[in-house]
Structure 1
């Protein structure tokens, strides 16, 4: 049995890595590099890394069958390409706090996708959670940012992030059967390859246009953070932790990530936490909490007790 300390350490590091991304990426975009350029470096680097690791740890494992190959392509398109393109495009236009709060609605999308794709029932409690989460997300998307950014830009950025959360939730449902059937690195190598095939042609021009010779040292460090810590290390830690963590424990860290993101954004001067964002966050958090609650098992009919005649 894995120790609780190791499990909590892994989950906390994942939450911290994701939380730091919202503020660190704002240092890079758009002054030093455009969003497509960052996505190209991130996905290209991760695709190469996972392809090499897969050859070492699972050289004979292959995704077989038309259905699984199509599923892997869909995961690469949604979970890697569209997910990352929409995330960095949205973060470039909106604020770190908005981005981190909108990310938390992914569990709601997972429930909706499971209802459509896996025919799972949506209970009244979960329906209420979906409505509350949607209301909080809508209010956040339509709100005027405290930073004074042009409302149209902020609205578009929030919309990109809503797409990001939606496609990531759908990806989690689609990728689960592949992860149960094949080695994790086999799946990762394939879906990142698909993502790279889509993203690299789109973002190569922006990646090459960056003036690397004049990048300060801290910008190089933040780009390395995006490629290694965010894409590779965070996934490896998260994938390991998912094998041992209970749904309740994972739920705690879902809420911890935006809290850390808010603290980092405010501490670094990248954003301002307002009362409006507080009640919008509360709606989203309550909605996600209700959606994450397990339905109570149906009561068994009373069993007749045999009696002696």
Structure 2
């Protein structure tokens, strides 16, 4: 594979973060009518169907070693925990809390990558992540009233912190199977494994919801919103996230996660008429600089690896 293609695929997580940023706009339209655990279930059902369809076009189904199935199930557990904690936590907290706590994911990923995989945490990587984090905070501060931080429930804050850790675990534990098989295979079977788990949680949730299953909206806007979550923010984004993992360390791809609130704020201004805060330009520049620093360090490492190969 040429170096250019390698660098392009290494940037795939940036596209994933952009798709996740779009979830902010979609949720403004219609997700208030869908209970959080059920919403998580619907997204993985649609995502699984899309991923299985794409995987079925190749021969990925026949290449998985039986000994690796427990790893895919474990990844499904992390997916389930991430969806449950993130959606319920977001419902219980303020927008500012959700935005700030979610971007702790890269920090958790770098830590777990160092502990579980022995990845290097260099000064340049630390500086890049710190810069991107500062930029993200500046953007969030311009969009929300940070004085409202703490207004949400303590349980919601704990759940969002847990979501940051569980997605980091999904990223780090996925390294081995992603590189042994492919990003598509790993993303597909991890998502499929989460379907019955989230299905069970959804069933319990709907049993306690007035109207149960019949209470779910079936209007066109809600259906399109769920399709966006399933096709765009799940099938496509999760594949792209793992695609980057084929070429760079988990701690390196994690920095692209900071692009999510930038895209969300920009789309909110473009599609919902929201006003971008004064810190958007400065925060976006800092975020981009941080990503560039981390990405540049990896590019230099790749050149050194090629020279010594």
TM over 0.5: same fold?
A: yes
Cα offset for 1:184?
3.6
Cα pair distance change 1:55/1:129, threshold 3 Å = closer
Q: Is 1:76 aligned with 2:76?
A: yes
Q: Tell me, which stretches of 5 or more residues in structure 1 are unaligned?
A: 298-309
Aligned length: 291
Taking the aligned partners of 2:187 and 2:200, their CA distance within structure 1 comes to 20
Equivalent residue for 2:25, pick from 17, 23, 26: 23
Q: Is the 8 A contact 1:105 1:288 kept in 2?
A: no
Q: Distance in 1 between matches of 2:31 and 2:178?
A: 33
Which digits, 9 at most, give the CA deviation of each residue in 1:116-166, with x for residues without a partner?
A: 11234544565677788899999999xxx6399794535543432222222
Change (3 A) 1:86 1:280: farther
2-structure distance, mates of 1:183, 1:155: 39
Once the 2 structures are TM-superposed, how far is the Cα of residue 51 of structure 1 from its aligned partner?
A: 3.8
> What is the alpha-carbon distance in structure 2 between the residues aligned to residue 101 and residue 278 of structure 1?
18
1:62 equivalent in structure 2: 64
Range that drifts further, 106-115 or 44-53: 44-53
After superposition, the Cα gap between the structure-2 partners of 1:63 and 1:271, relative to the gap in structure 1 and judged at 3 Å, is farther
In structure 2, stretches of 5+ residues that fail to align are: 302-309
- Kindly indicate which of the two structures has a greater share of residues assigned to helix: 2
Pick one of 256, 261, 265 that aligns with 1:258.
Answer: 261
Cα RMSD (Å) of the superposition? Answer: 4.8
Residues in 1 aligned to 2:264 and 2:153: alpha-carbon distance in whole angstroms: 18
| TM-score after normalising by structure 1 | 0.69
TM-score (norm 2): 0.69
Q: Is the 8 A contact 1:140 1:277 kept in 2?
A: yes
Once residues 66 and 100 of structure 2 are traced to their aligned partners in structure 1, the CA distance between those partners, rounded to angstroms, is 38
Matches within 5 A, 1:271-286: none
Label 1:18 to 1:275 Cα distance change in 2 as closer, same or farther (>3 A): same
SS in structure 2 at match of 1:59: helix
Q: For the residues of structure 1 that align with 2:240 and 2:130, how far apart are their CA atoms? A: 32
Per the TM alignment, residue 113 of structure 1 is displaced from its structure 2 partner at its CA by: 0.8
Please point out which of 216, 231, 236 is paired with 2:234.
Answer: 231
C-alpha spacing 1:146/1:171, structure 2 compared with 1 (3 Å): same
Report deviation, 1:39. Answer: 0.6
Larger radius of gyration: 1
